[in-house]
Amino acid sequence: LAKTTQPISMDSYEGQEVNITCSHNNIATNDYITWYQQFPSQGPRFIIQGYKTKVTNEVASLFIPADRKSSTLSLPRVSLSDTAVYYCLVGAIPDTGRRALTFGSGTRLQVQP
Amino acid sequence: GAGVSQSPRYKVAKRGQDVALRCDPISGHVSLFWYQQALGQGPEFLTYFQNEAQLDKSGLPSDRFFAERPEGSVSTLKIQRTQQEDSAVYLCASSYSGGGSEQFFGPGTRLTVL
């Protein structure tokens, strides 16, 4: 499985856009990039997934350059409730439903008023 | 609809005691996973079921850990002769493996071994 590297922590203020970059130099052709969010005392929650270029949903955007060796999760206009740990994961799908996820240590985002 | 539920939410055990942690996955989800999360770390895979079959138990740290899912729905993670290093949050996740790409996690059980 491809190893991922992401910042340990980030700070932001309410209303700002936050970009969290993840490096995955050894990503394989069949690998997708997935981001999960985890609040204290809760299990991780799926945010977004992509293979290349850009993916956008109601929560976030995911930017993936052509070489796919990195990806950037973009959270528009963060609020205090976005304070959480964000995990970048790389793995092959569509059989992810049959495969365990490999989490790193994640990025701890702290949003200040 | 109901999500993944786990019980108990908190468990305190004396070293040497046996514990049993329960997971109720989302109805109809074929795949079920157990993860262990130490404080400040990401979750780490323990074991995986497809229906009642345990297809991967490579992440179980020792033979004191045992998991079952006898009817393909509810699962139990059992830890025998608990040790202090077993203290962690144990997360259960389920997914519909009909091509879905998302795992749904429960809130976890926080186990503290004294």
CA distance B16 to chain A (A): 26
Q: What confidence tens digit (pLDDT) does each residue in A16-69 have?
A: 999 999 999 988 888 888 999 999 989 999 999 999 989 999 999 999 999 999
The yes-or-no verdict on residue A101 having pLDDT over 90 is no
Residue of A nearest to B95 (CA): A97
Q: What confidence tens digit (pLDDT) does each residue in B53-106 have?
A: 998 899 999 999 999 999 999 999 999 999 999 999 999 999 886 444 588 999
The yes-or-no verdict on residue A2 having pLDDT over 70 is no
CB-based contact A94 B99, cutoff 8 Å: yes
Residues 6 or more apart whose CB falls under 8 angstroms from that of A112 comprise: A11, A12, A13, A14
Task: Nearest by CB to A105, from B33, B41, B95: name it.
Answer: B41
CB B82 within 8 A of CB B13: yes
Q: Does domain A9-112 have CATH number 3.40.720.10?
A: no
For residue B99, what pLDDT is reported? 47
For residue B102, what pLDDT is reported? 82
CB-based contact B31 A97, cutoff 8 Å: yes
Among A6, A9, A33, A38, the strongest candidate for a mutation testing the B interface, having the largest count of B CBs within 10 A, is A38
How far is residue A55's CA from residue B76's CA, in Å, rounded to a whole number?
Answer: 37
How far is residue A106's CA from residue B3's CA, in Å, rounded to a whole number?
Answer: 24
Q: What confidence tens digit (pLDDT) does each residue in B12-57 have?
A: 999 999 999 999 999 999 989 999 999 989 999 899 898 999 988 9
For residue A111, what pLDDT is reported? 97
CB-based contact B107 A43, cutoff 8 Å: yes
Taken in order of first residue, the domains within chain B and their CATH numbers are: 5-113 (2.60.40.10)
Give the residue extent of every domain in chain A: 9-112
Q: Residue A95: list chain B partners with CB under 8 A.
A: 97
CA-CA-CA-CA torsion sign (B33, B36, B39, B43): negative
